[in-house]
Amino acid sequence: MKSRQLATSYQHGVSLVVYRLSGASHPLPPHCDMDSCSSEEFYQAVHHAEQTFRKMESYLKQQQLCDVILIAGNRKIPAHRLVLSSVSDYFAAMFTSDVCEAKQEEIKMEGIDPNALWDLVQFAYTGCLELKEDTIENLLAAACLLQLPQVVEVCCHFLMKLLHPSNCLGIRAFADAQGCTELMKVAHNYTMENIMEVIRNQEFLLLPAEELHKLLASDDVNVPDEETIFHALMMWVKYDMQRRCNDLSMLLAYIRLPLLPPQILADLENHVLFKDDLECQKLILEAMKYHLLPERRTLMQSPRTKPRKSTVGTLYAVGGMDNNKGATTIEKYDLRTNIWIQAGVMNGRRLQFGVAVIDDKLFVIGGRDGLKTLNTVECYNPKTKAWTVLPPMSTHRHGLGVTVLEGPIYAVGGHDGWSYLNTVERWDPQSQQWTFVASMSIARSTVGVAALNGKLYSVGGRDGSSCLSSMEYYDPHTNKWNMCAPMCKRRGGVGVATCDGFLYAVGGHDAPASNHCSRLLDYVERYDPKTDTWTMVAPLSMPRDAVGVCLLGDRLYAVGGYDGQTYLNTMEAYDPQTNEWTQMASLNIGRAGACVVVIKQP
């Protein structure tokens, strides 16, 4: 039988008792228990490595047993090859390979700061480093050369803490040169986030043209509008006009000139910096055509017509049905960070209501609270997070459509708790009053509405007996409704939005509420008002009833909805140029019938 041998191990100052089985079989002598007859012990000294390195450090200080001298600049640093090799892969390769340095007593260290080399040799013996702002870059460069990953990591984290608008461009360039990808990423993100402060600092004005163009080309710079980036370029050029004029046309190509206000473009044409530069004149002309010929914009798409992420505004999802029979929270989505965060809470539960935006404020209109249909109106200011009660509509409405057209808000159709409605009310922001306008030709609840080319479109919905494929538009100048070509599909709970002169109808259902679970729609179709025709485009990735749809930048976003089993928290974006849907960041909770709108600033 195998006997057990007792081993006592001391690791990190803790005594451990370890039993082992020996390979041979030895019977125990009479009257001898197993523990007292153990014939082997395993001993490990506490702090052995630390004490050994401390002894080697004392040899270094006394320059005893040193077998190599490192020369950096005018400084000679004695050391022990074994110690250097045990810490640095660079020295290990040097001293264990068949290279001339392996046998040399003195080794010249090119391209390394003498003080940084001394600090790292000390680190090899002690494991200690002093990090200072004025020497950290030399230390990191030396650590990268000598392949000291631990030191590289702590130096990078130290530099991350030092990031400031006045130094982030320099740190980013330094990290790139050293191949420190994580530091470069953090410095780059910091630069993008704080670009408004960065462009006011000397580092920005000293950027070489090839580095500046990377900034100008980025979608992620956190600016309120394209003007900001244009003025930053002009400031950079004027800092050294004589030399930098040659780079102007190359850099101006990264400014999204078509997105600048037309009055700025008009001033540029005869500007002293641009009037004699043919390439600059071409770019200015391209931008002017974009403004002068809006009907041709779909044919003029280019990287210069794509808005930067921070300039498109913030997407808000308000309320909706959730697993708790009605969400009261408001979430907002930032395209640049691709994250949804909570932005507010409604005063109470509302379902099948409408939301419009005026002056960066949310107007929450009608709906039902679970018991009764509402005519109440509230205004939410995202900046102050304050709610204001406004005069109610004349009619109680849920399932209504809401949009803004040429200033006023329109509340369209819906259900008053008893019957389906074809009436329409208009809110005047100046007089703060609701008035009726012409009624639709068809009563519509769960209707989609959108403003396009000065007209109000009312799309699909339900009239009590079935879902509708019909669409009609309202002209505020004649106060009349006119029928349009019907959609390819009947749709209640349809999401509607406009983009590039087209109107899109997204998702919904095509049967009465009592029997629509199996007939939810993933179909998407596009209406062209010039030809009065509908065209099917790429479908959603899944069916979405009561989906929120909104234009953010140059893409349509379909938010939440109901798939027959689940209140969805997913979101997807449609690119009209590629005719493709892409999954984006998910909401924090599933929502169907959430009102989805964009606010430009908050």
Same domain, 261 and 142: no
CA 498, 499, 500, 504 dihedral sign is negative
- What per-residue confidence (pLDDT) applies to 370? 85
- On whether both 288 and 335 belong to a single domain, the answer is no
Provide the mean pLDDT of the chain.
Answer: 90
Residues 216 and 335 in one domain: no
Whose structure tokens read 């849907």?
A: 581
pTM of the model: 0.81
Number of domains in the chain: 3
Q: Do 462 and 497 fall within a single domain?
A: yes
- The phi, psi pair for 362, rounded to 5°, reads -95, 125
Distances in Å between the Cα of 496 and the Cα atoms of 437, 550, 566 are 22, 7, 21
Average pLDDT over residues 310-336: 94
Q: Is the pLDDT of residue 12 over 50?
A: no
Choose one of 269, 299, 329: the last residue of a domain.
299
Q: Is 529 helix (H, G, I), strand (E, B) or coil?
A: coil
Residues 88 and 111: their CA atoms lie apart, in Å, by 17
Q: Which domain-ending residue is among 248, 271, 299?
A: 299
Q: Do 422 and 569 fall into the same domain?
A: yes
Same domain, 270 and 355: no
In this structure, are 284 and 335 located in the same domain? no
Q: Does 447 share its domain with 535?
A: yes
pLDDT of residue 72 exceeding 60: yes
Sheet with 68-72: list strands edge to edge: 75-79, 68-72, 106-108
CATH of the domain at 247: 1.25.40.420
Do 362 and 427 fall into the same domain? yes
CATH of the domain at 418: 2.120.10.80
Q: Are residues 478 and 526 in the same domain?
A: yes
Residue after which a domain boundary falls, among 162, 197, 218: 162
CA 3 – CA 172 distance, rounded (Å): 63
Q: Residue 11's pLDDT is what?
A: 36
- Can you read off the two tokens belonging to residue 266? 């008009």
Is the pLDDT at 18 greater than 70? The verdict is no
Does a structural domain hold residue 386?
yes
pLDDT of 514 = 55
Residues 274 and 392 both lie in one domain: no
Q: What is the residue range of 60's domain?
A: 50-162
Distance CA 556, CA 574 (A): 5
User: And the tokens for 148?
Assistant: 């000291």
Answer whether residue 394 is part of any domain.
Answer: yes
* Residue 197 belongs to some domain of the structure: no
